[in-house]
Every structure is written in structure tokens, then in C-alpha cells.
């Protein structure tokens, strides 16, 4: 499995130096060059800045976790589907916002929906997150194939119902949000993660045999306020707990 982080930011980027790891656009996660996890409006601009525009042309499948603007844009989907058929897996509340572009093939998913994407079996897991539309389900995604991945951007801890599925998995990689960076746990931890809360989650996963010594735990969805998120300050804190702090353009092979 190849993992390419396009944008790793959370909110509007306030640091305008594109040569720095402290510059974070909003963008999705690309799996094996063909599967895109989340598609915010500025994914093309982020990819352009990294010289990765061509990577968007090979996308065949898009999975949307929820409708917040840092994760979903109808315009971004239209751009990706400009020249080829693209399958989009999302909740009903997201799908109704898509255009009638004939290249977009829509698949409605719900919590615990299972479907095949490329060579992977994917399960949509409920997350501890919500949008302004209280009827919308927000998802994390579990990929099982030659390698296994949990994509868990936005959630705050792990949903109990989702854990009943995850406890039977042995994960090779996890992508967690760290929207609370290295802040102390608080009520915000109910719907977003930080390094310290994730340390507890990791310990639980270890105790249940859900991860192993080579499991790659990658942190993304990082604040873009310079005072809170300088890469060289956050990265050593993350590393102390066995986490890798990603950056725009980060690549890993699992």
C-alpha cells in the first residue's frame, strides 16, 4: 500500500511559505495513486504547490468521511471527474450536494457498510464526530487487503461500535487527526484528537493486539496557526509516543 498525504492542514493556512513543512494546505490522502480519501476545495491548489497535480488524474474512487469543508467539496469532485469516471462513496447528505456530472458514479454508504475498492475490502465505521446536519453520519474507514489501514481523521477517541469491528483487525497503518496538537485533553477531545489522547488510544490498541511493532501511526489534520503547530516542535513530541507527524507531500509505503 502506498500512502501519499496531499494536504495535512486543519482550517485556513496562515503560514504562506510553501518551502516549509509548516505550510499546510487542505487536501486528501491518496492510496495507491487511485483512491482518494476526502476531497476539500483546495486539494488542486495544494497538489499544484507540491508539483503533484498529475497524481489527481489517476483517481478512480473517492471516499468522503463527512461534509465539513476541510474534507469535502463538490467542486473538487467535479475537477477529479473532469475527464474520467469516478466512483464516490459517501453518506446521502454528502451525495445530494454533488453535481449531475455524468462522470460521477454515486454510492450511498452508512455505518458498517462494506464495499470493495480496488484490491481492498473497506468498512465504513461510525466516528465520534458530527456536522451541523445532525442526521449526517460521519465515517472513519477500515481498509483490509495485503496491508490494513485505519483512516480516522476526526473522531475524538474511537466510537464504541466501531471498536467492536476494529478489535478483530491487525492494523499495519493508522492515519489519525491531531487537530488538538499537543494540547491537554478537554471537552474538544470528544470530537477531535491530540497527541496525548492518542497515546492512550494507542495503548488500548496495543493491549488488544490490534497493532504490532511495525504499525505506522501517522498524524495529520494539523492546526495551521504557527503558534501551535511548528513541525520541528510537534514532531519530537509525536515521536516520543511512536507517532509520525506528517506534512504536505508526505509519502509512506506500508
Q: Listing from the earlier edge strand, what are the strands of the sheet with 104-108? A: 104-108, 86-90, 61-63, 35-37, 29-31, 2-5, 251-253
Q: Is the pLDDT of residue 182 over 90?
A: no
Per residue in 104-162, pLDDT (tens digit) is 999 999 999 999 999 999 999 999 999 999 899 999 999 999 999 999 998 888 999 99
Q: Is the pLDDT of residue 227 over 70?
A: no
pTM of the model: 0.96
What is the average pLDDT across 2-13?
A: 89
The CA distances from residue 183 to 162, 188, 193, 228, 230, in Å, are 25, 10, 10, 9, 14
Task: Please choose, from the candidates 184, 110, 116, 103, the residue with its C-alpha nearest in 3D space to the C-alpha of residue 145.
Answer: 116
Per residue in 60-110, pLDDT (tens digit) is 999 999 999 999 999 999 999 998 999 999 999 999 999 999 999 999 999
User: Quick one: pLDDT band at residue 226, thresholds 50, 70, 90?
Assistant: low
Architecture of domain 2-253: 4-Layer Sandwich (3.60)
Q: How far apart are CA 166 and CA 137, in angstroms?
A: 18
Q: How far apart are CA 254 and CA 149, in angstroms?
A: 9
Amino acid at each position: 500500500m502506498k500512502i501519499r498525504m496531499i494536504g495535512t492542514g486543519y482550517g485556513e493556512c496562515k503560514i504562506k511559505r510553501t518551502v516549509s513543512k509548516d505550510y499546510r494546505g487542505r487536501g486528501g490522502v491518496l492510496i495507491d495513486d487511485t483512491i482518494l480519501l476526502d476531497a476539500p476545495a483546495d486539494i488542486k491548489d495544494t497538489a499544484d504547490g507540491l508539483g503533484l497535480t498529475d497524481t489527481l488524474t489517476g483517481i478512480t474512487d473517492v471516499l468522503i468521511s463527512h461534509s465539513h469543508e476541510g474534507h469535502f467539496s463538490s467542486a473538487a469532485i467535479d475537477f477529479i471527474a473532469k475527464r474520467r469516471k469516478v466512483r464516490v462513496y459517501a453518506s446521502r447528505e454528502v451525495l445530494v450536494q454533488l453535481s449531475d456530472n455524468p462522470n460521477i458514479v454515486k454510492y450511498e454508504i452508512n455505518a458498517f457498510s462494506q464495499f470493495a475498492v480496488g484490491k481492498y475490502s473497506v468498512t465504513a465505521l461510525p466516528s465520534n464526530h458530527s456536522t451541523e446536519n445532525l442526521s449526517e453520519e460521519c465515517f472513519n474507514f477500515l481498509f483490509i487487503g495485503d496491508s490494513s489501514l485505519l483512516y480516522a481523521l476526526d473522531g475524538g477517541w474511537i466510537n464504541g461500535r466501531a471498536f467492536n469491528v476494529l478489535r478483530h483487525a491487525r492494523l499495519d497503518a493508522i492515519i489519525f487527526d491531531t487537530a488538538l496538537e499537543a494540547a491537554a485533553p478537554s471537552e474538544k477531545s470528544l470530537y477531535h484528537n491530540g497527541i496525548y489522547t492518542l497515546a492512550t488510544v494507542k495503548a488500548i490498541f496495543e493491549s488488544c493486539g490490534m497493532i504490532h511493532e511495525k504499525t505506522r501511526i501517522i498524524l495529520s489534520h494539523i492546526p495551521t496557526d504557527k503558534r501551535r503547530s511548528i513541525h520541528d516542535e510537534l514532531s519530537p513530541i509525536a515521536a516520543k509516543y511512536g507517532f509520525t507527524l506528517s506534512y504536505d507531500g508526505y509519502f509512506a509505503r506500508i
